[in-house]
């Protein structure tokens, strides 16, 4: 139910909602779908050198943002 509410609230506000599996996020950022948290943190630091994160969760959130930016851009190019 929580997942449904998390998708419904932004959709009602007219915002696009995207969902990515863990392996897709890891593959988008690291290049391997079975990367560990250390590899994700290292690549996030390389891709976003000015980003300052203090936890693995913060690095994961940035990895999701990187994945979304990549796939959103690719999907927009295909749709045009």
Three-state DSSP state, 64? helix
Instruction: Give the CA count within 13 Å in the CB-facing half-sphere of 21.
Output: 5
Q: Where residue 71 falls among pLDDT bands split at 50, 70, 90?
A: confident
Has residue 80 got a pLDDT over 70?
no
Enumerate the domain spans of the chain.
Answer: 18-79
The torsion region of residue 31 among left (phi > 0), alpha (psi -120 to 50) and beta comes to: left
pLDDT at residue number 68: 92
The mean pLDDT value for 24-37 works out to: 91
Dihedral pair phi/psi, residue 36, rounded to 5°: -95, 175
* CA distance linking residue 44 with residue 78, whole number of Å: 26
Domain spanning 18-79, CATH architecture: 2-Layer Sandwich (3.30)
The mean pLDDT value for 54-63 works out to: 92
Three-state DSSP state, 73? helix
Q: Where residue 78 falls among pLDDT bands split at 50, 70, 90?
A: low
């Amino acid at each position: 139910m929580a997942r449904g509410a998390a998708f419904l609230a932004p959709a009602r506000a007219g915002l696009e909602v995207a969902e990515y599996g863990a392996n897709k996020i890891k593959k988008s950022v690291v290049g391997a779908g079975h990367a560990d948290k250390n590899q994700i943190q290292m690549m996030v630091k390389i891709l976003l050198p000015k980003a300052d994160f203090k936890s693995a969760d913060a690095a994961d959130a940035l990895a999701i943002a990187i994945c979304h930016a990549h796939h959103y851009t690719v999907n927009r190019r295909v749709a045009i």
